[in-house]
Structure 1
Amino acid sequence: MKLISCWQSYCIGGSTTLNLDELFTLKGKIALVTGGAGYLGTEISATLAELGATVIVASRNYNKCQKKCEEIQKSLPKGGDLFPLTLDLMNKVSIDHCFKKIEDQFGSLDILVNNAWSGNKNSFETITDQDWEYDIDMSLNSVFYCTKKAVKGLIEKKGVILNVTSMYGHVAPDYRIYDGKEFTNPPSYGAAKAGVIQFSKYLASFLSPHGIRVNCLSPGPFPHEQTQENKEFIQKLASKNPMNRIGKAYEIKGAVALLCTNASSYMTGQNICVDGGWAVW
């Protein structure tokens, strides 16, 4: 009886609490998703919109962004609005223009999701200096540039930064499953993603006085649909995983919802792995 009384006292007369609906909502929030029309980017954009945010879906391909915004909007029984925007992360002028448009049209961001990636498949033997520099610029430097542009507004809003990294930012690829160049994971990719994980921890520390939270989401094996057509490679990939399968794109939605809402209000500087247990053995 004493234990029950203590628990009742806490629930009724103790600390203020929030229910799950209040924790998992983004109503009134403004979010930017770089690479928001891509394979995983689409699921990220849809998640934020479904939770009520106004989502800016940005990439180099404006028409693709516009199409994805329309598709997501139609699929939502309710939720926020989505807007396409051109953003070339390899062009600082484009980055400047993107954030100026966001400021003019929406004001400051509440949520920044650094998700975009593009690059060539390379082994250590085949990668060129240009390939390396491109991947570092795309996967690491762009995170720095966008964060610098967004940080003033994020400070005003006590916002959230979610950096999408990779399992290969903290473990190495197994060379035995990568035969040839077609599906080989380039050394620049893991190096850049590892840098993003460390940069996120740095930001979590130094932006914490401003009330900004910064976390990483590290997807495991989520190969693009075109890659999935190679059944032999997919089986090799799946066999590396305790769950013996690759991930389905929608399976990152739960982690995105957690890390971008107040459901994770006491989490910062973390790297959440959605990888089917890839690194446990």
Structure 2
Amino acid sequence: MLEDKVIVVTGGAGLIGSRFCQAIVDQGGIAVVADLNLEAAEKTAQTVGGDTRRAIALKLDITDKVSLEAGIATLRDSFGRIDGLINNAYPRNKNYGRRLEEVEYADFCENMSLHLGGYFLTSQVFSAYFAAQKGGAIVNMSSIYGVMAPRFEVYDNTPMTMPVEYAAIKSGVVHLTRYFAQYYKASGVRVNTLSPGGVEDGQAPSFLAAYAQFCGTKGMLDADDLTGGLVFLLSDHARYVTGQNLVIDDGFSL
């Protein structure tokens, strides 16, 4: 479904990003593992693509316009075009994830700037490139907690919480998507959101059980559960889909 499409995945060396890169390669595309950690990106590219050059590493800072423009220039020179961007990076400062009463204003603002601001800047730079190219697809990663209030009860008796910054950021991502989709819809640039439920990553069994009570047959997802929706949004099958938010959560948000 992505035959020879060049797709940039920010945060491509992470848990979800690496699975997205694998899905792109599996569907015949070229995955650009874009990450601030170049060493991790190179390892992921080797794992995903081997010696096929179907996956390449790119050092990229989503909060730095110079880095973004240089990355686009490098890919344009290497491949002649870029077909898609997945805004998947998850930047945050060392104080991210505190309970509401403990969040400092400066930390809240910094995390909003890094994450939502980074998605804005990356979308701004890539959208301009795609518009000049007369085509391209952007998928922004949001979350169920970008479209619903937190279910705090699933965090009872755990050290975890649902960070207030996350809720503000991910809801902002959904509307940022609509803004860019509306602004560029006559330019051949499609912009959509993918909003997953929770992804399993070593959480405590008690949390997984509490979470699963609100779901259908799966509960917490695996990263691979998101790839079908992602591939669709990037593919020509979705050529007339823009400004939409695809929720994949096994019914958690119902």
Q: Normalising to structure 2: TM-score of the pair?
A: 0.90
What is aligned with 1:32? 8
Q: Give the unaligned 5+ runs of structure 1.
A: 1-23
Cα pair distance change 1:133/1:181, threshold 3 Å: farther
> Hey, what does 1:106 align to over in structure 2?
79
Q: Which AA in structure 2 matches 1:56?
A: V
- How far did 1:244 drift? 5.4
Counterpart of 1:257 in structure 2 is: 231
Distance (whole Å) between structure 2 residues aligned to residue 134 and residue 234 of structure 1? 30
Cα deviation for residue 34 of structure 1 reads 0.4
Q: CA deviation at 1:157?
A: 4.0
For 2:25, the aligned partner's letter is A
Secondary structure of 1:242 counterpart? coil
- String of CA shifts for 1:156-201, please: whole Å, max 9, x gaps: 1411111111000001111222247832111111111111111111
SS in 2 for 1:171: coil
SS at match of 2:191: strand
Residues 80-135 of structure 1, C-alpha deviation per residue, up to 9 Å, x if partnerless? 71111112234444334433433443344210111111332222112122321232
Instruction: Tell me the distance in 2 between the aligned counterparts of 1:105 and 1:263.
Output: 26
Contact 1:121 1:181 in 2 (8 A): no
* Separation in structure 2 between the aligned mates of residue 237 and residue 158 of structure 1, nearest angstrom: 40
* Separation in 1, partners of 2:125, 2:158: 36
Deviation (angstroms), 1:42: 1.0
What TM-score does the superposition give when structure 1 sets the normalisation length? Answer: 0.82
Equivalent position of 2:209 in the other structure: 235
**Structure with bigger gyration radius:** 1
Given the superposition, is the C-alpha separation of residues 198 and 276 from structure 1 closer, same or farther in structure 2, using an over 3 Å criterion? same
Change (3 A) 1:164 1:254: same
Corresponding residue number in structure 2 for 1:49? 25
* 8 A contact 1:36–1:57 mirrored in 2: yes
Aligned counterpart, 2:251: 277
Q: 1:3-48 deviations in whole A, cap 9, x for unaligned?
A: xxxxxxxxxxxxxxxxxxxxx2x22322111001111111111111
Identity %: 29
Q: Which runs of 5+ in 2 are unaligned?
A: none
Residues 240 and 203 (structure 1), Cα distance of their counterparts in 2 relative to 1, 3 Å cut: same
* 2:37 alignment partner in structure 1: 61
* Pairing partner for 1:186 from 144, 156, 163: 163
Question: Across the two proteins, how many residue pairs are aligned to each other?
Answer: 250
CA distance in 1, matches of 2:33, 2:142: 18
1:177-216 mapped onto 2 (5 Å cutoff) = 177-179=154-156, 182-216=159-193
Structure 1 position 122 matched with structure 2 position 98 = yes
| Residues in 1 aligned to 2:104 and 2:158: alpha-carbon distance in whole angstroms | 13
From 133, 137, 147, the counterpart of 2:123: 147
Measure, in 1, the Cα distance between the counterparts of 2:53 and 2:84: 14
1:95 matched to 2:68? The reply is yes
Shift of residue 248, structure 1, vs aligned partner: 1.3
Q: Distance in 2 between matches of 1:80 and 1:218?
A: 30
